[in-house]
Structure 1
Amino acid sequence: MTRLRRRYLPRRRVLVFGVLVVAAAVAAGMVSTDRATRQAATAKLTATRLSIFQDKAPEAPSALQSRLDVLAAGYGEDVGIAVTDVASGWTAGVGQHRLYPQQSVSKLWVAIALMRAVDEGRIDLNAWVTMDDADRSVFFQPVVAEYRQGRYVTPVSDLLRRALVESDNAANDRLMRELGGPEGVRAALEDMGLTDVKVGAYERDLQAQTAGLSWRHEYGFGRNFQNAREALPMAVREAAADAYVSDPLDGASPAAITAALAALSRGALLSEESTLRITSLMTAARTGPRRLKGGLPPGWSIAHKTGTGQDFQGASLGINDVGLLTAPDGRTYAVAVMLPRTRHPVTARLAFMQSVSGAVVEQWMRDTGTTVAD
């Protein structure tokens, strides 16, 4: 957070000038009124972008911090947890400042970068794009089933929905292409002050590198990727997996993720319309119904994004769930749970994530004086 303040606070002095330049350009006929309006609006957003990052956020509740410590110790493996109160800014957590593999959590940053471009008038969600075999990715890519004669024509908005709701890898990779690739996404995130969350690479390149491969076009068909992976010497795969977990190309810390989610929730990153579109799609997510969501009682809601990495030697690399948990009274908490390399069975992983969301519910009950009977 300190780095974010250093980078952006000086820019506030020139924001008014930027807005005046846009106004002058409109008067001179240099840009359209609509585009100038969008630019002025995003300049205003930039001026308030870091309002979520208070100079001195209050300390996290000790009861919640103690509970998270106990849960993490009980799990018995390396875990990352962060819980941020969106309204007050406090953050509790375990390993919250370490970098962990995100896997498909990174699709969220691609979506935010895309909606930033929409706010600025650089991308039209209703624009049509054509996907073909060059857009194939790896693992889960249901959009490929829509191909007819090797092509699929669809609006950008459809790809956004597929990426966030279904976690479609090919849809996500194509959105990244529309943004100028990983470098374009990274530049957009940096412009918003999100310097501590990374996309790293196209999904297909990330998965290939994690397995010890370099992406090849034919890996996007059938089981070609899995067959190539299985043909590698075990030492190559072990080295690649260890390198990925220790220094993930798509790494982010739980605290950086919850800070970004809190900023999104407060409208500090995107326009109101774009914020609503992102959070609505996150609410409709079909993945991970028994992760964080499974620990919430009736009356609570969640807008979230999961991440699920490859299995190797009895372990799964990058099992995550991050999201915005909203209580019945509207109080919202940004939560991230990240398991970089877990050997526990799926039931134990789910129970752990649910226990974290349960701990958030318990803290809300303490804060509001709510009982189970209420």
Structure 2
Amino acid sequence: MFAKTVSRLCAIAITGLIAACVPAAPPASTPAAPPPVRQPAYPPARPAPVRPQAPAALLNAVQALGQSFNGDVGISVRDVEEGWTVAWAGDKPRPQQSVSKLWVAIALMDAVDRGRLGIDHSVTVRQSDLTLFHQPIRPLVGKDGYRTTIGDLLHGAMTRSDNTANDVLLWRVGGPDTVRRTLAEKGVAGVTFGPGERLLQARTAGLTWQPEWAGGWGFLQARAAMSYEARKRALDRYLADPEDGASANGVTLGLALLAQGKLLSPASTEKLLSLMRASKTGTLRLKSGLRPGWTLAHKTGTGQDLGNLSTGYNDVGLIVAPDGHRYAVAVMIASTRQPIPARMRLMGDVSRAIVSSHVGTGG
């Protein structure tokens, strides 16, 4: 009897201890608090904007044209409005030749915008200013010089690719360093600028420019007296590392920035583009592939030949569709043995590819 009583007491004590170890439930009238909501440390990232893609047909066409051409060529097509670029070997520097007149014009118009120069400012071109190769101004420069204006020289440089007019403007604006600084300040990457027409052409031929050659035949006579091997070594050096080198993509970047009004004032931008539209050179290059209603503001370049090797055969510009859509284009042939009609056909085919792609995409 005593043992049964002890057992009951032990059971009651153990049950009490177990109950004491279990926390009491909250009253039915007081609900449990929800866990705190943890806020994110940073706001959620926004999805990246979708960049427009280049039309596949245009990409394929540019690649096919570059690959099939027998020569060292760079091609770049940049959509000014949408920002995409298609290219063939578009990042390699190639000779610009007279394409570089575009950068002199931009540096000049920038100086006009800043009030440092005026389009109507008077300039006297001396016989000592004469350069070489194409210079329509030459017959006008007599023993007392030729008095003209900065605006007239700019017109000659951009519409007729006059080498003397361009060199006079180059030194009036401050020389090659000023042009290089202007390109750097305005974000035109992938474009360099050479030493000026006379020095560049002399070095390309393996010669050193002599002041007495200005206005005469001295340069051509000195070049003709050189051996083929000496000229070839000089030309090979130039092609390997052109002093006036620019990539096709760099050129179309500069053209797009110009078209967008990011290089010059609106008035100066329109002035320069109107001169480029009025260009008399290269009518069978890029322009040959355009349809009625399309326009081209452009600058050509043509380098020296050695035998049947041609160098620096270029055309770059802004192609504008009838609906106003703009494309910056550069076709730069560093070297080729293809005849002139084949080079022109390549450039026209690039323009035709742009027109076909634009029309095919509903433009």
What TM-score bracket applies, with the shorter chain setting the length?
A: 0.7 to 0.9
Which residue matches 2:235? 241
CA contact (8 A) 2:153 2:166 kept: yes
Distance 1:56 1:273, change over 3 A: farther
Task: Say whether 1:87 aligns with 2:81.
Answer: yes
Which residue matches 2:33? none
Which residue matches 1:285? 279
CA contact (8 A) 2:131 2:197 kept: yes
Q: Which moved more, 1:57-66 or 1:302-311?
A: 57-66
Among 121, 139, 155, the alignment partner of 1:161 is 155
Residues 171-216 of structure 1, C-alpha deviations (whole Å, 9 max, x = no match): 1001110111111211122221224212211111111110111111
Give unmatched runs, 5+ long, in structure 1.
1-54, 370-374
Residues 143-193 of structure 1, C-alpha deviations (whole Å, 9 max, x = no match): 121123340111111111110001000010011101111112111222212
Identity over the aligned pairs, expressed in percent? 48
Task: Say whether 1:118 aligns with 2:130.
Answer: no
Equivalent-residue separation in structure 2 for 1:320 and 1:57 (angstroms): 30
Which residue matches 1:368? 362
Q: Which moved more, 1:214-223 or 1:304-313?
A: 214-223
Which residue matches 1:327? 321
Which residue matches 1:258? 252
Q: Which amino acid aligns with 1:314?
A: N
Q: Which moved more, 1:294-303 or 1:140-149?
A: 140-149
Which residue matches 1:211? 205
Q: Which moved more, 1:130-139 or 1:275-284?
A: 130-139
CA contact (8 A) 2:70 2:336 kept: no
Q: Which moved more, 1:233-242 or 1:252-261?
A: 233-242
Give the greater-gyration-radius structure (CA): 2
Equivalent-residue separation in structure 2 for 1:148 and 1:219 (angstroms): 16
**Normalization by structure 2: what TM-score?**
0.84
Task: Say whether 1:177 aligns with 2:171.
Answer: yes
Q: CA RMSD in A?
A: 1.4
Equivalent-residue separation in structure 1 for 2:124 and 2:179 (angstroms): 20
Q: Which moved more, 1:105-114 or 1:209-218?
A: 209-218
Equivalent-residue separation in structure 2 for 1:177 and 1:57 (angstroms): 42
- State how many pairs are aligned: 315
Q: Which amino acid aligns with 2:141?
A: Y
CA contact (8 A) 1:165 1:282 kept: yes
Equivalent-residue separation in structure 2 for 1:193 and 1:261 (angstroms): 12
Which residue matches 1:188? 182
Offset at residue 235 of structure 1 (A): 2.3
**Normalization by structure 1: what TM-score?**
0.82
Equivalent-residue separation in structure 2 for 1:78 and 1:195 (angstroms): 21
Among 92, 101, 116, the alignment partner of 1:98 is 92
Equivalent-residue separation in structure 1 for 2:67 and 2:188 (angstroms): 30
Equivalent-residue separation in structure 1 for 2:248 and 2:102 (angstroms): 14
Q: Which structure has the highest helix share of the two?
A: 1
Equivalent-residue separation in structure 2 for 1:67 and 1:264 (angstroms): 26
Q: Which amino acid aligns with 1:280?
A: S
SS for the counterpart of 1:124 is: coil
Q: Please give the residue correspondences for 1:128-147 in structure 2 after superposition, counting only pairs within 5 Å.
A: 128-147=122-141
Offset at residue 57 of structure 1 (A): 5.2
CA contact (8 A) 1:110 1:199 kept: no
